[in-house]
A and B are shown apart, each in its own frame.
Chain A
Amino acid sequence: MRFQFAGAVAVALALTTGSAEAHHSFAMFDLTREVTVSGTVRQFQWTNPHAYIQLVAKDEQGRDVEWSMEMGAPMYLYARGWRPGSLKNGMRISVTLNPLRNGRPGGVVRDVTGPDGKPIGTNR
């Protein structure tokens, strides 16, 4: 893993993700690994064909690194209890994701935990 984060937990898991892909191939994501990143929301992009969380987290040297975290389309987020205001700039959250294979700070989101420690939305 290229980055390590304060409060972050990296867990290797064999995932049984669905075969259906969004509007592009999921080859860019390592679907065998899950990484949890804690940080501060810089921006929440509620857009088609994907929503994105721009999350700023510390790397192992204590520097700020911005992650690009991809989500499904807003209609699907809405159906799972998400709203455009679910994340606000400056909010502290933890995101579990499948990281990008190329080592860049990004991935596809699996779960998000809010400042109160509770999951946002249902994801079911």
Chain B
Amino acid sequence: MRALLAAAVAAACLATAGSALAQGEPSAAARVEAFAKLPYWPGYWVSEQYANTTIGGTAAPRPPGSPPLQRLNGFNAPWNEEGKARQAEAARTRGGRRADGWGYPMMMDAATPFQVMITPEEVLIVNAYGETRHIYTDGRPMPAAEDMWPTVWGTSIGHWEGDTLVVETVQVQMPYTYFHGAPSFSEEARYIERIRMDGDRLVMEFTVEDPVTLTGPWSATITHLREEAFDRMVQMDFSNDRTGSENGINTIEPPADEGGE
């Protein structure tokens, strides 16, 4: 009798688990169907600002008459008094400061390529420094405030409007603390991106609202081109930043084996 009861309980548990699985996970066929409806943005994308970068690390000259490219450094943002103070402090300390990586939002306008991996559940954006953004597109809401904390790459939720990926990102650690060329938005900033293909370009329209540092929304559009010369993503850490400072101008520090840091 006891054995029969145990078997019945086990069977009930299995049935319950199976049912939960069916509700929580799409069938393979449904997932293939969901994939088929999504855009596909293969390749290694570089901000147009850095297209055709030479071995010296600077981009090749753009053709004469090319329209100026917008940047994410925030230099032209409508800063309020707090924002101006932060930007002034950033300008004072930027020279010779070492970075830890690119972080968000600068990894979207950086001298390094990224890939965009689109799945039904999330979009992953990964760069050559191993920096990754997880943009959840499975319909979940933004986590509750008490479930988030500021990070270098923030917390992102996205959804599709046709072939445009719309992303909301919050809880981004002040970008300047991670990368010295980044804007000094506060951790209350809210970033909205609209990302889509336009011909052979990946276009990202950014709008940032920050009640702490801005008088109003700030927008910038960043375009990306495919770098055809990469055959795979090789990730390396940010381990050898030899930028130093001397008399207010940056310089190259000696190598580590000769007394450099």
Partners in one complex: yes
Complex contact B251–A72 (CB within 8 A):
no
Interface presence of A110 (CB below 8 A): yes
Complex contact B251–A71 (CB within 8 A):
no
Known A48-B236, A78-B230, A79-B227; contact A106-B251, beta-carbon cutoff 8 A: yes
Give the Cβ gap from A76 to chain B, nearest Cβ, in Å. 5
Interface presence of A59 (CB below 8 A): no
Minimal Cβ-Cβ distance residue in B for A16: B61
Interface presence of B56 (CB below 8 A): yes
Q: Contact check: which of B50, B239, B253, B257 meets A20 at CB < 8 Å?
A: B50
Give the Cβ gap from B60 to chain A, nearest Cβ, in Å. 6
Chain B residues with CB under 8 Å of A79's CB are 227, 229-230
Give the Cβ gap from A16 to chain B, nearest Cβ, in Å. 5
Q: Contact check: which of A22, A28, A75, A111 meets B252 at CB < 8 Å?
A: A28
Q: Contact check: which of B62, B237, B253, B255 meets A18 at CB < 8 Å?
A: B62
Q: Contact check: which of A27, A49, A111 meets B240 at CB < 8 Å?
A: A49
Whole-angstrom distance between the alpha carbons of A111 and B258 in the complex?
25
B226-249 CB mask vs A (1 if < 8 Å, else 0) is 010110001011111111001101
Minimal Cβ-Cβ distance residue in A for B95: A25
Instruction: Among B55, B95, B180, B246, find the residue whose CB has the most chain A CB atoms closer than 10 A.
Output: B55
Give the Cβ gap from A89 to chain B, nearest Cβ, in Å. 13
Chain A residues with CB under 8 Å of B241's CB are 23, 49-50
Complex contact B243–A24 (CB within 8 A):
yes
Interface presence of B142 (CB below 8 A): no
**Interface size grouping (class) on chain B:** 35 or more
Chain A residues with CB under 8 Å of B16's CB are none
Interface presence of B23 (CB below 8 A): no
Complex contact A20–B111 (CB within 8 A):
yes
Complex contact A68–B62 (CB within 8 A):
no
Chain A residues with CB under 8 Å of B218's CB are none
Whole-angstrom distance between the alpha carbons of A121 and B52 in the complex?
14
Interface presence of B26 (CB below 8 A): no
Interface presence of A21 (CB below 8 A): yes
Complex contact A80–B58 (CB within 8 A):
no
Contacts A18-B61, A23-B243, A49-B238 known; 6 new A-B pairs at CB < 8 A: A17-B61, A24-B99, A48-B238, A75-B112, A80-B54, A108-B57
* Pairs A-B, 10 closest by C-beta atoms: A72-B57, A79-B229, A47-B240, A22-B57, A20-B59, A18-B59, A106-B252, A68-B252, A20-B49, A48-B236
Chain B contact residues, CB within 8 Å of chain A? 49-50, 52-62, 94-95, 99, 102, 110-113, 128-129, 179-181, 227, 229-230, 234, 236-243, 246-247, 249-255, 257-258
